[in-house]
Amino acid sequence: MRRISLALALIAALVGPACADFTSKNKDGATLTFKSSGDCTSVVCIVPHYLTDSAGTAVGTAANPLSFQFGTGVLLPGFASTPTFNLGTLNGAATAANQATGNTSVGNIDTSIGAQANSTWDGSSAASLMAINRYQGVKLEAVRALLAGTLTVNLPSGAATAANQTNGTQKTQNVDASGNAIGAGFAAYATASITRPANTTTYTVNTGWNNATSGATNFFTLSGVCRVNGGQVLITRTDIWSSANPTLKLSGVLWLFSATPGTNVNDNAAFNITSADFANLTGSFNGTPFTLGSNQSSGSNSGVSLSGAPYQAQCTSGTQNIIGMVEVTNPYVPVSGEVLRVGIATVGLN
């Protein structure tokens, strides 16, 4: 009986719950004490794990706080109530008083732009455009968006007007260095007159028609007959008429020059063209002969229009003018203060 009781006690000690603490060694040989939870059937040694950064430093501490970054399109988890985020001190939080006024004034964006106002580009040069478009790579439309007013661009004459549009496409137009349209057509007509002296002295053959018998200063200056300075034209018609209509009509020769003659010819003086002036004759080196006429039974004027084959002529350098002189080729009896007028019609070649 005594032996049975001892055996039962030994069995109870082996199969009963182990509640005592126990010890073990770690990898360094140090003794570790494991505390019993009060009901242990087995013992497992758990290796501790800590969250660290790439340098092996523990995160989640005051010195190395833990942060999260969310990618584009990542949704935050649902919250039972609206979360509160403490942004801390942001060098003066985003209050109205701490906001810059750059959105209300272009001048605060770049003081070199100056005061906010309409900007106009007249199309004269690249420099005037850059006065508006100050930043390389910034398109003019971007500058326009910064301005409170309307960006105005003055189009040159004959540019993108309604008359020059075809189905929404602007017509192209070639221009020369002066901005004149090339191939658009040019025609002109100009007249000039010289009033002779107040006498009725008969002209000697081959003498000049001018405003004075000595110190004459007048030429027949036919202005604006070329499109451009020093331009080339075709003379399609020449008109010559007088304020007188005597029985013996005036005959003569019209001489045209591409430069103002250096030597003038006085009225009723021998008509001689110097060699230097002869080199500047234009249209014809023989001049244009004419004889005035009149189909009126009575009247105070006589004239003639010469409209044969057109001939090429050139305007003076630096102007759009052709200069003329008239030589009298018959013994004409003039009227005192008679006015002789010359007109030419031209078509531009350039």
Q: What is the CATH number of the domain that holds 330?
A: 2.60.120
Residue 301 lies in a domain: yes
Note whether 278 and 340 are same-domain residues.
Answer: yes
Note whether 256 and 326 are same-domain residues.
Answer: yes
Q: Cα(329)–Cα(252) distance, rounded to whole angstroms? A: 5
Q: How confident is the model at residue 316 (pLDDT cuts 50, 70, 90)?
A: very high
Q: How confident is the model at residue 26 (pLDDT cuts 50, 70, 90)?
A: confident
Q: In the chain, helix, strand, coil percent, each to 5?
A: 10, 25, 65
Q: End of a domain among 153, 177, 212?
A: 153
- Residues contacting 43, CB < 8 A, separation 6+: 22, 34
Decide if pLDDT at 137 tops 90. no
Note whether 289 and 217 are same-domain residues.
Answer: yes
Q: End of a domain among 108, 133, 153?
A: 153
Q: How confident is the model at residue 135 (pLDDT cuts 50, 70, 90)?
A: very low
**What does the pLDDT read at residue 115?**
47
- Residues contacting 165, CB < 8 A, separation 6+: 171
Note whether 195 and 296 are same-domain residues.
Answer: yes
Number of domains in the chain: 2
Q: Cα(197)–Cα(189) distance, rounded to whole angstroms? A: 27
Judged by average pLDDT, the poorest of 46-60, 94-108, 248-262 is 94-108
Q: What is the mean pLDDT of residues 271-295?
A: 95
**Residue tagged 């584009």 (tokens):** 72
What percent of the chain has pLDDT above 90? 44
Residue 100 lies in a domain: no
Which residue has better confidence, 108 or 200? 200
Pairing assessment for the beta strands 207-208 and 31-34 based on DSSP bridges: unpaired
Judged by average pLDDT, the poorest of 12-16, 19-23, 218-222, 246-250 is 12-16
Note whether 220 and 308 are same-domain residues.
Answer: yes
Note whether 198 and 286 are same-domain residues.
Answer: yes
Residue 99 lies in a domain: no
Residue 292 lies in a domain: yes
- Residues contacting 228, CB < 8 A, separation 6+: 176, 178, 180, 320, 350
Residue 255 lies in a domain: yes
- Residues contacting 20, CB < 8 A, separation 6+: 36
Pure H helices in 111-246: 126-130, 140-146
Q: Is 166 exposed, middle or buried (0-12, 13-18, 19+ CB in 10 A)?
A: exposed
Note whether 127 and 256 are same-domain residues.
Answer: no
Q: Cα(307)–Cα(50) distance, rounded to whole angstroms? A: 111
**What does the pLDDT read at residue 185?**
81
Q: Is 260 exposed, middle or buried (0-12, 13-18, 19+ CB in 10 A)?
A: middle
Residue 106 lies in a domain: no
Going by C-alpha positions, the residue among 322, 324, 243 that lies closest to residue 287 is 324
Q: How confident is the model at residue 193 (pLDDT cuts 50, 70, 90)?
A: very high
Measured in degrees and rounded to the nearest 5, phi and psi for residue 3 equal -65, -35
Note whether 149 and 199 are same-domain residues.
Answer: no
**What does the pLDDT read at residue 38?**
58
Q: End of a domain among 153, 172, 200?
A: 153
Q: How confident is the model at residue 138 (pLDDT cuts 50, 70, 90)?
A: very low
Q: What is the mean pLDDT of residues 240-258?
A: 96
> pTM for the full model?
0.51
pLDDT digits (tens, 9 = 90+) for 44-66: 555 566 677 777 777 777 777 77
Residue 124 lies in a domain: yes
Note whether 200 and 315 are same-domain residues.
Answer: yes
Residue 263 lies in a domain: yes
Decide if pLDDT at 327 tops 90. yes
Range of the domain at 139: 118-153
Note whether 137 and 204 are same-domain residues.
Answer: no
Note whether 242 and 145 are same-domain residues.
Answer: no
